[in-house]
A and B are shown apart, each in its own frame.
Chain A
Amino acid sequence: MATATAARTRSSASQTLGQEFALRGPARSFWQDSWARFRRDRLAIMGGVIFLFLCLLAIFAPLLSAYFTHYDPNQINLKENYALPSAKHWFGTDEYGRDSLTRIIYAGRISLSIGFLYALVSLTIGVVLGLAAGYYGRWFDDLLQAIVNIFAAIPLLPLLIIVGSLVKLGWVQLALLLSAFGWIGASRQVRGLVLSIKQRDYVWAARTVGAADGRIMFQHILPNVFSIILVIVGFDVAGAILTESGLSFLGFGVQPPTATWGNMLSNSLSYTTKDPWLVFFPGLAISLTVLSVFLLADGLRDAMDPRLRQ
């Protein structure tokens, strides 16, 4: 806040004086610079911490259920159904008497797995294609454009509905199906970045000197691409979780009794009057995850945005 405004005025003043380099201080690498900016962004840090915490919960779900909550996520107990949050059940129980906290943790495994798998696959495809198209250009680029046009013409949600009604979608299939369309955005951004980097002096210089294509791509282009990859991963994970919840609401998506945050949320809608806590916790889980990821990714993007470097 105060520091940013000060920096702005300082830089415009210094630039007109032509003495910006003298005022700036020791030179820093791209990563050091980005990290320094990131550290100052409290929202982003908080987002990162929360997201990390949720991922850890998901990873250690079986340990947590054995030693911490002492409940099995599928163990029903009809006498204690619809229980309100209490010392015995921190998040209460659902319509079968299953412990909600344990279920939320296990559901997180699936929801986060969907998010990460989706991000992994769509980024792999998108980055590879985007890199190649941006770097090699010409017919390869045209081919990519044609493919992108085809996929972009297919409306995602209607297609998901149609496929979901025909084929049983486990979480893996769902993630893969989503990534069949998700790679487009990544490839576009990567391609754009590669194109702009290609014009820069040091790449041009490297080529003049005779450096191999692969070397150029690895040494110069990839590190820059990597920065936007981080950001895209964040938005992808969040987007996949939200899409999965929408599909569960419509009835297609991972089916109970396997729990995901999405199907827990849509399932709970029948119980808004009987037990609103069933609605609250999955909603909180999704929102917290998506929010923390957004803040993290936003912060990363701001931190690495070259235009904001002062």
Chain B
Amino acid sequence: MTRYLVRRLLQTIPVLFVISIMQFGLFISAPGGPLKAYLMDPNISKEDVARLEHQYGLDQPVPIQYLNWMGNILRGDFGRSYFTHRPVMESIFERLPATVELGLAATLISYLIGIPLGVYAGLHRGGTIDHLIRFFTSILNAVPHWWLGLIIIILIANFKVRTGIQILPIAGIKTLGKEGFDLIDYLRHLILPALMLGTGGWVTFGRYMRSETLEVLGQDYVRTARAKGLAERVVTFRHVLRNALIPVVTISAGIFVGLVSGAVIYENIFSWPGMGRLLFDATLKKDYPIAIGVLFIFSILAVLGRLVSDITYGWVDPRIRYD
């Protein structure tokens, strides 16, 4: 098992470096740069920009910049932001918790809604509820979620104008002016973005649970249990659920990782101060070190997620062995 892990890690870390380097190549070969936008500022002259580009080494030929940067990366130095001059990893770790928390909350919501719905739909396949669930989950997945998020924000705001009641906060991570950390306040701010982010997740879980439930229902031991005369409820919980849940564990990590990288959109819409926004801003400003640093962290999360996925799969399913 450990050998497998080590092998996987050895495979992926160099790959991550290679990806980062490719990204950097993309960045510096595109026209412009972090400082070019200042040329439209009436107070900043071409000479100012040229001077700064020289100070940052941005006027050197592309291959030289590439090599310099690659050398630093291989030593683990991701450099500093071109704008704040703070170390890249420091800026990223400031925002990492917010994104991870959002991802976790969304995954949790996916479980809480998706699993019961899916199991129910599987148990009552063909019934009205099954069709309703299929229909509504299809609709929810058919509408672009970012759009749905914005519509909800507009709805809440209009509702407050009409009635003075604000159902939920629509931006930020906490209410301004409150000192210290207030769990309830934090959760209220977390709900909407997590719900929107989790929507895709619970639909996937729901479908998965439904098909797993159906598969389990067809198995011999379920028929045996029914033949023995066990109550339907016992059959459901003891046999169906337990077995259907097994694969859920394995796809969870994948879902979590997908949600984390998809968080970018919701962090923008709900003004959630996470890594996704950092990436977005850095990309627009051409702050390469930060953009690539964030991409790298996302990639590490993805790799970790898949590793966890594979490990738990082997752990819950004794038929799998690692060589």
Q: Which residues from chain A sit less than 8 Å from chain B, CB to CB?
A: 1, 4-5, 12, 16, 43, 146, 149-150, 152-159, 161-163, 165-167, 238, 242, 245-246, 249-250, 262, 265-266, 269, 272, 283, 286-291, 294-295, 298, 305, 307-308
A249 and B265 in contact (CB under 8 A), knowing A43-B131, A149-B11, A155-B295? yes
A246 and B142 in contact (CB under 8 A), knowing A4-B125, A153-B16, A158-B276? no
Question: With a CB–CB cut-off of 8 A, which chain B residues contact A295?
Answer: 138
Cross-interface CB contact of A286 among B11, B143, B268, cutoff 8 Å: B143
What's the count of A-B pairs with C-beta under 8 Å? 125
B154 within 8 A of A: yes
B176 within 8 A of A: no
Known: A154-B19, A289-B142, A294-B141. 11 other contacts (CB 8 A): A1-B126, A1-B127, A43-B135, A149-B306, A150-B12, A155-B295, A158-B261, A162-B295, A265-B144, A286-B142, A298-B134
Do most interface residues of chain A lie in helix, strand or loop, or is the interface mixed? helix
Q: How far is the CB of B310 from chain A (nearest CB, A)?
A: 10
Look across to chain A and name the residue whose beta carbon is closest to the beta carbon of B254: A152
A294 and B144 in contact (CB under 8 A), knowing A4-B125, A153-B12, A307-B215? no
Interface string of B234-278 (1 = CB under 8 A from A): 000000000000000000000001001110110010000000100
Contact indicator B144/A158 (Cβ below 8 Å): no
Assembled-state Cα–Cα distance A162/B257 (Å): 19
Contact indicator B298/A155 (Cβ below 8 Å): yes
Complex A-B: 30 CB contacts under 8 Å: A1-B126, A4-B125, A5-B126, A43-B131, A43-B135, A146-B11, A149-B8, A150-B19, A154-B302, A155-B295, A157-B262, A158-B261, A158-B279, A161-B280, A162-B26, A165-B283, A166-B26, A246-B144, A246-B265, A249-B146, A249-B265, A265-B144, A265-B147, A266-B147, A269-B147, A269-B150, A283-B147, A291-B139, A294-B142, A307-B215
Interface string of B270-306 (1 = CB under 8 A from A): 0000001001100110000001001100110111001
Q: Which residues from chain B sit less than 8 Å from chain A, CB to CB?
A: 8, 11-12, 15-16, 19, 23, 26-27, 30, 125-128, 131, 134-135, 138-139, 141-144, 146-147, 150, 154, 211, 214-215, 218, 223, 227, 257, 260-262, 264-265, 268, 276, 279-280, 283-284, 291, 294-295, 298-299, 301-303, 306
Look across to chain A and name the residue whose beta carbon is closest to the beta carbon of B130: A1
**Which one of A155, A161, A163, A246 has the highest number of Cβ atoms from chain B below 10 Å of its Cβ?**
A155
Contact indicator B143/A157 (Cβ below 8 Å): no
Look across to chain A and name the residue whose beta carbon is closest to the beta carbon of B262: A157
Look across to chain B and name the residue whose beta carbon is closest to the beta carbon of A238: B142
Contact indicator B299/A153 (Cβ below 8 Å): yes
Listed from nearest, the 9 A-B pairs whose CB atoms lie closest are A155-B261, A4-B126, A290-B142, A291-B142, A155-B298, A166-B30, A287-B142, A245-B144, A294-B138
